[in-house]
Structure 1
């Protein structure tokens, strides 16, 4: 007898094949049959007129802290994710030596904008080694499965201690110790090693990350171990956001050496920065050459929409580093900020002030031409008619003044998007070929990170609503292709082979979706992190059912309370040795 029979759904099975109407039979956490099915089942669901898809596999989420205290893991849970990977960009919380906990929090707070206060309050630090950290994740049932990279930053800090940041390279003994810890991590289920090499990633104090400017010898030594376990080296490359156009070219030469010498698989963050918007083609030409060779696999992790900042006085905005704003922030409780900021003399003082050269505020103030009003419906591909430069001119004011006044009205529900990357030419048309390239995978949702700057944990739902259904400023991407990108492609890219398609024998991770009525609400600030810290969430409606390992976790956009998710440990695929 089947545990569940899903009848008459429009099946988009994750393989890329054309959709078809059919049934899905599930028993013991597995898909046992797909097609025209009959017979007894403990429960039958009529999916007529609804999509039936695999569950989404999100390979870049930064839930390293949240996964230890929050078993639901929103925003991903509400958006149909059934597997998520943590430990990205070289930041995380293991291994850790006693006394260094604060340094890892400062690193995560600075690089990924997860509030340090929330991390201090939420993390129990009932681990030291990376295997112990995985055991903590494994000890708690949760809404969906999580897996983890070993982050390079904590690894270096654990081995080198106070030598980190001194400018000296790791010596032979230190590299050997790190390689041993990588081997240990891979043996207990790490998916690989992640490393950050971009100068944009800094601690909350402005210091460089522990893995910045690591030399070739260290990277090759770690990659060799990862390759032996058939894992992945994931990189945030130097120059990735356009901070150094020549730096990204040096990175590609380095990655080429690493791949040639070790045979390791590589994932690299891939953006279209305004300063060098076409270099991604060179990166993917290199990836295609490596993939064609067959020894290693290389993928660029891309986002499905622009990467920038949703502007709010409560989070990220162009005036956040100016003394007059900081005075308001320091002297008043947050619920009184807007009233104080609305005073004409306070506004005038803030707008008169300038930003320090090289500061984040100075950077934001260089991009007014890339700032758009998303409107009440959160249109993430706005055109020039809602660019704030034109809106300000029509209102007879400056972009700075216009944005200031708009934030007074919308800071709790941010709708001004400063589109810094992936919005070349004021739209997503030039991003489309990068998304569709065979050497890329969707992997930049940052679902648990940048919690007051972006709201991209809804990325998978956005891919459906915008790219597969509603896009009006260019061609859509076929639904079958979009689903494949978020399921089989992401899963296979990091070696997950038991999920990602609706085929007999695969794990029963799936979504049933009212595609016609699937909708994203407007980004909203909620205060639900530890210590009442805030984050942006985006309401999602239209998921009739989400299932993890054969158990229904969400139905009619509401959690069922079931927690079938566990730690997903990477296992190197068995390689058959030919008989001699």
Structure 2
């Protein structure tokens, strides 16, 4: 019997610690790295990594694959971009705990907050659980291409405890708070990595009603975090109130961290309508690190945004009355109808109309947008922006957008960004190296037809290395060990003896990120954005090759990760 089940030879090792690359072989046995250096023995399987970098598998701490894992075995698109562990149950939404009569409510909430079509979840989710521990037990039976972990979501927990009162945003009683605290402890002891909530006013049901967690007072948040303290483990993941002054939000999350002793990870967003909040949050994180308060910010490596297209959820005319009869037509027929001058004139004259004010606001505020090329370039020049092109062409902005949507026979994808790209790259340059800032917010498994940020690892490696001074070792560290350790997963994210054998072998010079495209591959024929990459020679999970040159091998070594994982003894 060979000493190694797999040997990766002659690679340039970027080990996830932030240290400089070095040349070595890596030996793997029983899903664990057992040797690094010059290996003279032979392995059952060997991969020649000459001329390629070898990195730890990437860890995505902010996803919404809670439903997808119940109906399929691949965490696409994340697993196609070097990610080997995902964490689900963010933003306070998910599928457990849930009473038998509340399945539709939970589905409608996920539809509104995470843009997952109702019919997809109604057909795809099996509901073979009721409590959160039962949900974890159901997931433990699933096999996947990568590992996955869960957090307890606040909104379904609130409805589970309070029933209709919880859905209607009524205040929790002392008994309600005690029950939520106890169930949080139970969830963490069963294997949840923590609890999540959202104060984000954009998080609503599709009809515009606020998500149950959004307006909950601080004592309820303290109760959840106290459940983590009772369990002695777990992170509190939180979406801030984006319409509030940053000082008040910082004070609230700092109190939660201080009073309970549990870490608070929050979404750090750069929003044009609150331009001063970003700097306040970044400075608060610097001060928290200095003061020993366990706060972390999760940030996107490029400006937050959406994708618009005729076959996607949104575009500038999607909510117009005259577009509704076209919404579900095949793309070719939709394009043919929109080329009609009379319909064009009506659509250009109308304004968006929808019961959910968040969607209307998105349309009205979508002024910074550009057409994505292939390969995808997320760093547009000023002259690429559609408002500039409209001015140069002597037509209105809406006319320019209308014409752009019809390009490539309606397959054009327009990227809408919430802030200036160059300014965002500059202000995030140093965040990758800050101890309590974590790259993420890819939202894989959600916004299937409006966001495709889950491939952000490939974006970083193709468009941020060297940009604004970001060196490769720091980028890999941010994608692997820093992300893993922010949620207590100390057994992965590094190429070191004793660590999990999760690796990527990447031809960095050939790495390419293609333009997103739409396919109908969800249950009930639902649409989702996909984004391919070239240059991932191999991805390895638990010592098993899961992807070769971007093609799935069919191996499913990924499993549910229950709770925090200790650092390997060998390390």
TM-score normalized with structure 1 length: 0.93
Separation of aligned partners in 1, 2:57 and 2:557: 14
**Over aligned residues, Cα RMSD in angstroms?**
1.9
- Residues 337-374 of structure 1: CA deviation (Å, up to 9, x unaligned): 11111111111101101235984464345445411233
- Determine which of 255, 262, 269 is the counterpart of 1:264: 262
Cα shift readout 1:544-566 (whole Å, capped 9, x = no counterpart): 11111111111122111111110
CA distance in 2, matches of 1:427, 1:572: 34
Q: 1:572 to 1:484 in 2, by over 3 A?
A: closer
Q: Encode CA deviations 1:479-512: one digit per residue, 9 max, x unaligned.
A: 0000000100000000001110000000100010
Distance 1:509 1:387 in 2: 40
* 1:426 Cα offset (Å): 6.3
What per-residue deviation string (whole Å, max 9, x for no partner) do you get for residues 13-44 of structure 1? 00000011111111111101112222122122
Distance 2:148 2:241 in 1: 28
- Equivalenced residue count is 562
**Counterpart Cα distance in 2 of 1:335 and 1:128:** 43
Aligned equivalents of 1:223 and 1:573: distance in 2?
22
Question: Which residue is equivalent to 1:461?
Answer: 458
Structure 1 residue 233 and structure 2 residue 226: aligned? Answer: no
1:514 aligns with 2:516: no
Cα distance in 1 between the residues matched to 2:52 and 2:566? 35
Partner of 1:399: 397
Cα distance in 2, alignment partners of residues 156 and 163 from structure 1: 9
CA distance in 2, matches of 1:378, 1:411: 18
Structure 2 counterpart of 1:548, from 538, 541, 548: 541
User: 1-side partners of 2:297 and 2:171: how far apart?
Assistant: 28
The counterpart of 1:284, out of the listed 282, 285, 301, is 282
Quick check: 2:229–2:262 contact (8 Å CA) kept in 1? Answer: yes
Equivalent residue, structure 2, for 1:29: 31
Equivalent in the alignment of 1:5: 7
Alignment match of 1:486 (pick from 479, 492, 501): 479
Structure 1 counterpart SS, 2:533? strand
In the superposition, relative to structure 1, how do residues 345 and 131 fare at CA in structure 2: closer, same or farther (>3 Å)?
Answer: same
Where does structure 1 lack aligned partners over 5 or more consecutive residues?
A: 575-580
Query: 1:361–1:339: structure 2 CA closer, same or farther, 3 Å change rule?
Result: farther
1:346 equivalent among 343, 348, 364: 343
SS in 2 for 1:568: coil
State the Cα distance separating 1:419 from its structure 2 match: 0.5
Report if aligned partners of 1:88, 1:149 keep a CA contact under 8 Å in 2. Answer: yes
Residues 110-143 of structure 1: CA distance to partner in whole angstroms, max 9, x if unpaired? Answer: 1011111111110111111111111111101110
What is the DSSP-based 3-state SS (H/G/I as helix, E as strand, rest coil) of the residue aligned with 1:456? coil
Whether 1:71 and 2:73 are equivalent positions in the alignment is: yes
In 2: Cα distance, 1:166 partner to 1:367 partner: 29
My pick for the range that moved more, 447-456 or 94-103, is 447-456
3-state DSSP class of the match of 1:522?
coil
- Aligned match for 1:52, one of 51, 54, 59: 54
Q: 1:435 to 1:203 in 2, by over 3 A?
A: farther
Q: Deviations over 1:123-177 (max 9, x none)?
A: 1111111111111111011101100000000000111111024442110111111
Is the contact between residue 320 and residue 361 of structure 1 (CA under 8 Å) also seen in structure 2?
no
Partner Cα distance (2:278, 2:409) in 1: 34
Q: For residues 39-89 of structure 1, what are the alpha-carbon distances to aligned partners after superposition, in whole Å with 9 as ceiling and x for unaligned? A: 122122211100100000001110010011110111011111110000000
Distance 1:335 1:137, change over 3 A: farther
Which residue is equivalent to 1:384?
Answer: 382
1:194 to 186, 193, 196: 196
1:313 to 310, 315, 320: 310
State yes or no: 1:415 paired with 2:413: yes
Counterpart in the other structure of 2:45: 43
> What residue in structure 2 maps to residue 337 of structure 1?
334
Deviations 1:374-400 (A, max 9, x none): 333321011211011121122231111
Matched, 1:495 2:488: yes
Question: Would the aligned equivalents of 1:548 and 1:565 in 2 still touch at CA under 8 Å?
Answer: yes
Partners of 2:150 and 2:487 lie apart in 1 by 11
Which residue pairs with 1:136 in the alignment? 138
**CA gap 1:412/1:161 in 2 versus in 1, 3 angstroms:** farther
In structure 2, the CA distance between the partners of 1:425 and 1:501, relative to structure 1 (3 Å rule), is closer
* Matched-pair contact (CA < 8 Å) for 2:145–2:556: yes
Q: CA deviation at 1:333?
A: 4.7
Pairing 1:123–2:121 present: no
1:528 to 2:525 alignment: no
- In the alignment, the residues of structure 2 paired with residue 168 and residue 368 of structure 1 have an alpha-carbon distance, to the nearest angstrom, of 34
- Residue 187 of structure 1 and its aligned partner are, at CA, apart by 0.6
Query: In structure 2, what is the equivalent of residue 577 of structure 1?
Result: none
Q: Summarize deviations over 1:413-463 as a string: whole Å, max 9, x none.
A: 443211024x36666323333444332101200011111111111111111
Query: 1:532, 1:46 → 2: CA distance?
Result: 40
Equivalent residue number for residue 253 of structure 2: 255
